[in-house]
Chains A and B, each alone.
Chain A
């Protein structure tokens, strides 16, 4: 973020091949970790290796991963959105209110996704339009969005969702493959193409690496950032539809603290929190790693709040390792 050492950070950017090799090895390393956790879990618990159990385990990460894809793009572009969990709460509250009024499933989905888009546009306007720092803006909108849910719901909850609405969170496309899991795979492919195979994706990387150079190269920096916030809001809306449908109820505290897990997933996936580097493949593997860890710990009866210690450690350790490794390399 600052410091004299940052001048060193510029060097690997010039040596593109070395950076890409380093990144490639990160994803391979992470994949190795995923395999290890998988093997360890299947040895530690006899209930782990079961198609239906594993299918259930995917629910631990699919919704968060959907947001993580969009968040990855945002972080690569050098911004961050801490309001995603609050957007889920607000979108869920909007859907809940509509459901109480007897509105049908297709409109409910539209309302959920629409709320996400409006919230994303609001963040985008503040950050890209008024050029405000995204960390503080989204801390503010995080209280604002969830605060609106609290005003609407207070200590109440919405419950009566139409039966057909349950499909998005509880339905299965084929055999053990849930609708959410299939959607997760489809979105991973879509975001992978968007980031790695389109002009827009290139622009995201350029902005993250050097915003000034991006501006001088004729990249509409503000427009790209706005679209990224819009995309993040959209994915939070989609995740809200899935989560609300899976839980079948809405409380204002829904998805509390998810912003942290989403950021952890993105960073664990090898996306540089300083912007400019990262891949969707890494985020996908990170999603599996986090899902497997929490599922495995759950099978071993570890309480949720203790799991969060592991998530926090995972976040710090995975960022620290490459930094320490780079330093050792520099010394030799």
Chain B
């Protein structure tokens, strides 16, 4: 099992390297360190969101409301900054994480206490949160000139050659690795997705684990809300529309099983980078940006097919399937 996962990550790394090499034959300088750092920085927000999404997916759930959460939080933070330019940035970031975590907690509570299927809950809250962003802003925009200089510039400041945005992403990658592999919560998340029945017998509170996973995903979405608004220097209702699918795609490409319990932090990060490289390469090699959606679609479908085959080869699918059926019947 472990070897299989390792293979997947190595395979993905090789594929990404081949892609970069291929693109650099078409466009000089694509593989230059500076450009690669740019691509990483450009993919940072996707990486952060994908790690939150991964935590939720591990527990056999899904969070489709992350992009709407991001839009609402981003709007709230941007409007606060525009109205009270004196507030320190740290407070605004805490506020973003807090609002995001609260919206995530609403999802988590509905899944935990009322046992409504996560896909239904988050499909509902997806429209509600985005609608609330509209109600909050009255449909208006917050533009660059209304935001403070610190608010806009901090994620761009270079530290040791990389912008702070990239460092935040790296920190969160490390944090996610630590939480998921070294803390009880991580074990509980894997266990409650991998085999819910066994997890209950092992004394794990599945509902609580799911709740925490949604709070984590919401908090990361909230943080991304600030990062997004600051990076693109504009806040409006439709920011990051449909981005929730990219986060799911990154997870699926990274080998995180949608049935729960399988996947690694490295996989999710590589999955996000895979999408990031494609997104950045399309304009460089002269393919219309309109093609990006179809390419993501093909990649998701192929990744799902590939995941299913990999899981079947491991000889686990029958056992897991039966367990899932017994539990959901």
Contacts and interface: CB of A to CB of B under 8 A. Distances in A.
Q: Do A and B come from one complex?
A: yes
Contact of A140 (B130, B192, B237, B304): B304
A293 to B, nearest CB: 14
B327 A136 contact: no
Interface stretch (B81-89, B110-118, B161-169, B181-189): B110-118
B325 A1 contact: no
Given A139-B248, A144-B298, A316-B125, A1 B328 contact: yes
Contacts of B192: 2
B127 A150 contact: no
A151 B207 contact: no
For chain B, which range describes its interface: under 10, 10 to 19, 20 to 34, or 35 or more residues? Answer: 35 or more
B294 A144 contact: yes
Contacts of A209: 329
Given A3-B207, A136-B248, A147-B296, A315 B120 contact: yes
A311 B127 contact: yes
A22 to B, nearest CB: 17
Contacts of B292: 147
A293 B114 CA distance: 26
Nearest to B257: A133
Interface string B15-29: 000000000000000
A324 interface: yes
A267 interface: yes
B114 A320 contact: yes
B259 interface: yes
A150 B290 contact: yes
Interface string A116-144: 00000000001000111101110111111
Interface in B110-166: 110, 114-121, 123-128, 130-132, 134-135, 139
A186 B99 CA distance: 48
Interface in B271-329: 288, 290-301, 303-305, 308, 322, 324-325, 327-329
B124 A4 contact: no
Contacts of A6: 327-329
B297 A143 contact: yes
B301 A137 contact: yes
A312 B124 contact: yes
A290 B135 CA distance: 21
Interface residues of A, number: 58
A236 B327 CA distance: 32
Given A126-B301, A316-B125, A306 B120 contact: no
A211 interface: yes
B296 to A, nearest CB: 5
B225 interface: no
Contacts of B197: 4
A179 B124 CA distance: 31
B6 to A, nearest CB: 23
A197 interface: no
A151 B288 contact: yes
Contacts of B139: 303, 305
B327 A150 contact: no
A323 interface: yes
Contact of B120 (A146, A212, A319): A319
Given A132-B308, A140-B304, A308-B130, A147 B328 contact: no
Contact of A143 (B125, B134, B207, B293): B293
Given A146-B293, A210-B329, A260 B135 contact: no
A140 B215 CA distance: 26
Contacts of A9: 329
Contacts of A324: 114
Nearest to B298: A144
B131 A312 contact: yes
A93 B235 CA distance: 32
Contact of A1 (B117, B296, B299): B117
Interface in A142-172: 142-148, 150-151, 153-155
Contacts of A136: 248, 252, 258, 300, 304
Contact of A4 (B125, B200, B300): B200
A319 B299 CA distance: 33
Nearest to A7: B327
Contacts of A4: 196-197, 200, 206
Contacts of B308: 130-132
Contacts of B130: 305, 308
B48 to A, nearest CB: 20
A141 B300 CA distance: 8
A151 B282 CA distance: 13
B62 interface: yes
B199 to A, nearest CB: 9
Given A151-B294, A319-B120, A320-B110, A143 B300 contact: yes
Nearest to B57: A136
Q: Which 6 residue pairs are nearest across A and B when measured between Cβ atoms?
A: A147-B294, A144-B297, A140-B300, A147-B293, A143-B297, A309-B131
Interface of A: 1-6, 9-10, 80, 126, 130-133, 135-137, 139-148, 150-151, 153-155, 209-212, 252, 257, 260, 263-264, 267, 273-274, 303, 305-306, 308-309, 311-313, 315-316, 319-320, 323-324
11 contacts: A3-B196, A4-B200, A6-B327, A141-B297, A150-B290, A151-B288, A151-B291, A273-B120, A303-B134, A312-B131, A323-B116
